[in-house]
Amino acid sequence: MTIHKEGYSSIAWATILFGVINILSFYFISYSSPALSWIIFIATLGLLVFLISFFRIPKRQLTVQDNAVVAPADGKVVAIEEVEADEYFADRRLQVSIFMSPLNVHANRNPISGDVLYSEYHKGKYLVAWHPKSSTENERHTVVFKANGKELLIKQIAGALAKRIVNYLQAGQQVKQGEEMGFIKFGSRVDILLPLNAKIQVKIGEMVKGGVTVVALW
Positions annotated as catalytic residues are 188
Confidence at residue 134, expressed as pLDDT on a 0 to 100 scale: 53
Taking the domains of the chain in order of start, what are their residue ranges?
2-57, 68-217
Mean pLDDT, residues 115-136 taken together: 72
CATH of domain 68-217: 2.70.70
Distances from the Cα of 218 to the Cα of 38, 65, 151, angstroms: 56, 11, 10
Average pLDDT, the chain: 89
- The answer for 101, left when phi > 0, alpha when psi is -120 to 50, beta otherwise, is beta
Q: Could you report the per-residue pLDDT of 12-32, keeping only the tens digit for each?
A: 999 999 999 999 999 899 888
Confidence at residue 76, expressed as pLDDT on a 0 to 100 scale: 95
Expressed in angstroms, the distance from the first to the final Cα of the chain is 32
**Residues 75 and 99 sit within 8 Å (Cβ to Cβ):** yes
Confidence at residue 101, expressed as pLDDT on a 0 to 100 scale: 86
Confidence at residue 7, expressed as pLDDT on a 0 to 100 scale: 83
Closest CA to 159 of 185, 180, 179, 183: 185
Q: Coil, strand, or helix at residue 101?
A: coil
Q: Could you report the per-residue pLDDT of 92-106, keeping only the tens digit for each?
A: 999 999 998 888 888
User: What predicted TM-score, i.e. pTM, was given to this entire model?
Assistant: 0.83
What whole-number percentage of the chain has pLDDT above 70? 90
- Whether the CA torsion 50, 51, 52, 54 is positive or negative: it is positive
Confidence at residue 138, expressed as pLDDT on a 0 to 100 scale: 73
* Per-residue pLDDT band at 125 (split at 50, 70, 90): low
Mean pLDDT, residues 137-154 taken together: 91
Residue at 103: amino acid letter: L
